[in-house]
Amino acid sequence: MSIKILIAEDDSKIANLIRMYLEREGFEVIIASNGHEALSLFDDDKPDLIILDIMMPGIDGLEVLKFIRRHHMTPVIVLTARDDELDKIVGLEIGADDYVTKPFSPRELVARVKSLWRRAANISESEGDDRLVFPDLIIDKDRRDVRLKDRSIKLTPKEHDLLVFLSESAERPFSRDVLLREVWDYSFPGDDRTVDVHVKRLRDKLQNTDYTYLQTVWGIGYKFEVKKIED
């Protein structure tokens, strides 16, 4: 199966460099040089993963990401400038699965692409009932489906991976570094805010029930523990 990646980057040198490294690994690559073209190619070519530059002419990367996340959970890695801390956080809050800061190592970017795709595509082929069941919450790992009070919740690939990882070890706390290594598959230093923003997004999506699920463990990190909300 050919994996198609959309690179949305207005700097042709950077876009072609990324394409060269990805094609060496067997990925199919399409390139958009602005936001309008990115949305057009997204609709027409249905890429499996997107590498999205924040700063693009016309419609910028954040607006492109907002549009995609209205209806699609396609894995997205955003590219940001070194000093654009706000763009990193906003990108994650909107729904990016990961980000890479310019200037970056093409090999590191390819490693993150592989990690993100591997987890996003890792749908179990077993025929068993591979579900995690909690009060008001059912996590179906086979179908990558999460239901809250029998209502399907849309999660990005990394949100789903994080929820599954924590819930499979319920009540066990994990540090941010461990979560970056186990969920994001980082073999290099990562940014704690990536974890914090994903936890916040999950908490927002797991509301409207009588329970909370993701608990902060001060001085350590986070854990999955079902707690009844007191009146």
CATH 3.40.50.2300 fits 4-120, yes or no: yes
C-alpha to C-alpha distance for 14 and 18, rounded to whole angstroms? 6
The pLDDT value given to residue 128: 47
Fold of the CATH domain 131-228: Arc Repressor Mutant, subunit A (1.10.10)
How does pLDDT run across 19-38, given as a tens digit for each residue? 999 999 999 999 999 999 99
**4-120 with 131-228: one CATH topology?**
no
Q: pLDDT digits over 52-72, tens only?
A: 999 888 899 999 999 999 889
Strand order, beta sheet including 98-102: 28-32, 4-8, 49-53, 76-81, 98-102
| Domain layout of the chain by residue ranges | 4-120, 131-228
DSSP lists the bridge partners of residue 131 as 140
What is the full DSSP assignment across 109-155?
Answer: HHHHHHHHHHHHT------S--EEEETTEEEETTTTEEEETTEEE--
As a whole number of angstroms, the distance between CA 59 and CA 77 comes to: 17
The tens digit of pLDDT for each residue in 145-201 reads: 899 998 999 999 899 999 999 999 999 999 999 999 899 887 666 677 899 999 999
Q: CA 217, CA 175: separation in Å to the nearest integer?
A: 9
